């Protein structure tokens, strides 16, 4: 898995650099500050069939990304519900298709209405800041676990800790700082909603808390489980 992830990142980085170089060779870079720079570049070539092919590919690519994100969010709800931080129905699996069908339908309906009511620019900014927020959290988690639980089995170890996690946190924070104030306010509202759900439901129903209540003498074991879940 680490080889596949890192290899994909390297290949995509090289392809992005090549595409950007070709675009700036065809169109002045000042004209590429638009939502569809690749379409603008292929239109300048005058190749009609190539322009149609690129635009169809862009539509297919956007559709596949949206589908992956929808599937990913429903699986996140499934995992969180399995840990007791969301109600049981969020992790309920369909008896035939073996998928978290309630979470999938809920996410689909929610995304449908949100995308219909919120401007595209704001949605893009929300996706950006949400994704960028996840990176510092993961980097900090790697750093904390490496210090607190050096004994954990790690099939893959992030190199140069704490340099790599620290650079990940700083880089993501720098990109987040470039986003508008309104996006930050919306992020804070979403975080507040999540904290309310956690403190009023998730904290009391967490598997770690249940284990502590059922086995008072297993405090050390539950503490280790909590660190592992973090």
Tens of pLDDT, residue by residue over 117-145, are: 888 788 888 989 998 999 999 999 999 99
Its pTM surpasses 0.95:
no
Tens of pLDDT, residue by residue over 45-66, are: 888 888 888 888 888 887 887 8
Domain layout of the chain by residue ranges: 65-117, 119-179, 181-230
> If you average pLDDT over residues 33-48, what whole number do you get?
83
What mean pLDDT is reported for the chain?
86
Confidence of residue 111 (pLDDT cuts 50, 70, 90): confident
Q: Does the pLDDT value for residue 158 go beyond 90?
A: no
Which helix (H) or strand (E) element contains residue 42? helix 37-45
d(CA 24, CA 30): 9
Question: Looking at beta carbons, which pairs linking 169-173 to residues 24 or more positions away fall under 8 Å?
Answer: 169/135, 169/136, 169/139, 169/140, 172/132, 172/133, 172/135, 172/136, 172/139, 173/136
Q: Does the pLDDT value for residue 228 go beyond 80?
A: no
d(CA 199, CA 21): 50
Q: Tokens 């790697």, residue?
A: 142
Confidence of residue 217 (pLDDT cuts 50, 70, 90): low
């Amino acid at each position: 898995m680490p080889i596949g992830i890192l290899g994909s990142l390297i290949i995509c980085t090289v392809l992005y650099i090549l595409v950007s170089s070709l675009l700036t060779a065809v169109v002045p870079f000042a004209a590429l500050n638009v939502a569809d720079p690749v379409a603008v570049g292929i239109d300048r070539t005058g190749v009609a069939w190539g322009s149609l092919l690129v635009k169809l590919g862009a539509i297919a690519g956007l559709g596949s990304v949206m589908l992956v994100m929808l599937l990913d969010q429903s699986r996140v709800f499934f995992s969180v519900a399995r840990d007791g931080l969301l109600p049981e129905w969020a992790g309920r699996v369909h008896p035939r298709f073996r998928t978290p069908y309630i979470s999938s339908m809920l996410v689909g309906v929610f995304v449908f209405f949100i995308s219909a009511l919120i401007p595209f620019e704001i949605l893009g900014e929300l996706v950006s800041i949400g994704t960028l927020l996840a990176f510092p959290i993961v980097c900090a988690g790697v750093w904390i676990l490496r210090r607190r639980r050096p004994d954990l089995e790690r099939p893959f170890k992030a190199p140069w800790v704490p340099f790599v996690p620290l650079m990940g946190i700083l880089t993501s924070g720098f990109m987040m700082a470039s986003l508008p104030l309104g996006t930050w306010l919306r992020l804070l509202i979403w975080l507040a909603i999540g904290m309310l759900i956690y403190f009023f439901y998730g904290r009391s129903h967490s598997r770690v808390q249940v284990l502590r209540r059922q086995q008072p003498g297993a405090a050390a074991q539950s503490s280790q489980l909590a660190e592992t879940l973090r």
